[in-house]
Amino acid sequence: MTENNMLWEYKWKKSALAGGCNPVVWQNDIALHDGEGRGVGGFADEIGYYETEIAGDFALSCRLLESERAYYGVAISTGIMIRAGVDGDDETLYFGLASDGNYHVVVRDKKGGEAREADVSAYSQESYRHMRLTREGGAISCLLSADGAGYETVCRLSEPSARTLHVGFTSAFKSVYGGVSLTLPEEI
């Protein structure tokens, strides 16, 4: 993958997914996201989601700098997510934090199915400040890093069936993401 940050070349938008979000405010590589909703999981998701559509491989990286999650005790809600569509029951992979301060991976394998959680409970925000979600070679990987330099794979799953995915940031409250980066394969 190329190291060029392609973030600004994509059309980011408030998603049609149930749950509100005020527009993300970008400043250099920092995103301020103000969302609302009940969270991710069960048979349908309802969460603020700011996204773009990507066909092919990518890596979306960020560092969660601040989240009201810690103050309001919201369930699984603050992170990065990919979706096959924007209906609440579409195929989904969420990677981010919950009110317990630990990272969580929530997956809905098929439209209308119940979400399940992959066990990544050993990883806390206190120890790992940087997260990355990649699609490469037919698989989705969730990676964490303490310093943003060396990443450790914490979960690897089969990719959703859709070729074009909705990729973006989730939040049920205000969140601040730093070091936001989107990288794509080099064009041939």
Give me the phi and psi of 8, to 5 degrees please. Answer: -80, -15
Per-residue model confidence (pLDDT) at position 30? 56
Which whole-number Å values give the CA distances from 116 to 33, 44, 82, 150, in the listed order? 26, 12, 15, 28
- Which pLDDT belongs to residue 153? 94
- What CATH code would you report for 12-178? 2.60.120.200
| pTM of the complete model | 0.82
Q: What whole-number distance in Å separates Cα of residue 66 and Cα of residue 178? A: 9
Specify the amino acid at residue 127: S
Report mean pLDDT in 10-residue bins for the chain, 188 residues: 54 73 61 65 81 88 65 59 89 83 87 90 84 89 91 87 84 72 65
Structure tokens, 130:
């940087």
Res 118: pLDDT: 87
Domain boundaries, given as residue ranges, for the chain: 12-178
Q: How far apart are alpha carbons 145 and 31 in whole angstroms?
A: 19
pLDDT of residue 145: 93
